[in-house]
Structure 1
Amino acid sequence: MAAAGPDLYESLQIRYPPSPARTPALGSPLAASRWTLGTVLAVGTGVILVLGAALAVLITLHVQGQAELWAAQAELAAVRAPLLPDPNGPWSPSESPAAVQRQKEQLGRWLQGLSLGWRYHRGKIYYFSGEQKPWGDAEATCRSTHSHLTSVTSPEEQDYLAQETRGKSYWIGLAATGPGGSWRWVDGAPYSQAQSFWAPGQPDSTDYGRWGGENCAQIHPVGNGLWNNHNCNFSFPWICKRDLSRP
């Protein structure tokens, strides 16, 4: 009898289908649940990062705002001190209770102004608008808040405003409204050509036809915030200024 060959079942390879528990079919509830969990984790991580960044910004703004308030309070306390009455001496008109009350009300208005977006700097508060208006309308808006378009009376103040405007154009309170078109500050500060910060070649005399010439000044991106004269009827953001030493 011939030798028996290899058993058929010894050479037969049986391939079992993958276990459903190990490899879920596409579209199965288990696969869908795993995809959903991964998506939720990714979205959740993104939300946490965004909230963390927002919290950091809020903390920074809070600390900056507190510093501005403390500085304003210290400045105004120094201004208010001369109005306090001498308990051992007679009352004078400037030391009357009414004067002290007016000073308290003034302090309250200034601090309220800071909470509404004004920025404190060396005894003054400034408002950098987020909208745009012609020069005359911008000045009217400043007057409605007991302020004026800002004057610039020192290199230090010029540097501060140039830094805060961050390379954008803002109306300031300088206009050619004097005799012969001479430049004047709208808040009454004295104007001096020697103490001005015009960009090279400014002020010039561009004519806009029926709109007139360039009789209003703005802080301009050229030269890191140097001044440019422009037509007053064009709309730009503006800067208001209030002096804390004045009522």
Structure 2
Amino acid sequence: MAAEGQDLYESLKIKYPRSFSVAAAPGSAAAWRRALGTALALATVLALGASLAAVGALYARAERELRAARAAAAGASALPGCALDAASHGRLVQRLSIGWRYHDGKIYYFSSDRKSWQDAEDFCVSKQSHLTSVTSLEEQEYLAREAGKTFYWIGLTDLGTEGTWRWVDGTEYRQNMSFWAPQQPDNWDYGPLGREECAQIHPVGNGLWNDHNCNFTFAWICEKRLDVAGL
């Protein structure tokens, strides 16, 4: 009987559906794996290509900014009274390449961070500069244009001398060369926080000045003249 049973099952031929062929299943899995591998490889190549393109764009931008910085430094060096030795020229290029901006014999730093007025001035001093003063209509227009829609501290204050405004870098304050917004300064009282004793460029007034409480935090503008040592 065992032999007959063995012969019976050995001679039995099982017919599988076309969609579930024993021979076809391993082949389909292999094909699927090959397709998946190809897709993953293609996705990797595309991602790598996109990354390389992004890196290339950043490199090209950095190169453009560095060339512009060198050109600005060369222009500054040619100004009367602003001749720079090799070391100072190199430091100027470095500053310009990390965000400082050159304009008319001065360099400016427009922060992206926010600080109180005194902390902003301390930052500028740590960079051998001060919060910016404004000495001409042309400079005011430049700063207002660059400031855009952002509030920036400038180096004007009447701290300790109520009503007597002064530039923190020692520049003489002249009322006929001030650019206050209408009805400013108004010395608004914030109670325990104090009064408005520090000036800022105000975007609502297209860059005109507004007095504000010095303890509030805003972006700031540092300024350094190129004819001052310690660049």
Structure 2 residue ranges without an equivalent (≥5):
1-16
SS of the counterpart of 1:241? strand
Residue range with higher mean Cα deviation, 155-164 or 145-154: 155-164
Q: Quote the sequence identity (%).
A: 47
Provide the residue aligned with 2:180 in structure 1. Answer: 198
1: distance between equivalents of 2:139 and 2:34? Answer: 62
- Asked if 1:189 corresponds to 2:190, the answer is no
Partners of 1:120 and 1:126 within 8 A in 2 = yes
SS of the counterpart of 1:28? helix
2: distance between equivalents of 1:193 and 1:231? Answer: 21
Partners of 1:80 and 1:103 within 8 A in 2 = no
Map residues 1-247 of structure 1 onto 2, 5 A cutoff: 17=18, 28-42=29-43, 44-79=45-80, 103-177=85-159, 179-247=161-229
2: distance between equivalents of 1:158 and 1:53? Answer: 37
RMSD: 3.3
The Cα offsets for residues 78-123 of structure 1, whole Å up to 9 and x where unpaired, read as 44688xxxxxxxxxxxxxxxxxxx9555444433433443222221
Residue identity in the other structure for 2:38: L
Shift of 1:229: 1.7
Shift of 1:210: 1.8
2: distance between equivalents of 1:49 and 1:32? Answer: 25
Partners of 1:123 and 1:244 within 8 A in 2 = yes
Provide the residue aligned with 1:88 in structure 2. Answer: none
The Cα offsets for residues 33-52 of structure 1, whole Å up to 9 and x where unpaired, read as 32343344345435533542
Shift of 1:164: 3.0
Number of residue-to-residue matches in the alignment: 212
TM-score (norm 2): 0.74
Partners of 2:116 and 2:214 within 8 A in 1 = yes
TM-score (norm 1): 0.70
2: distance between equivalents of 1:129 and 1:184? Answer: 22
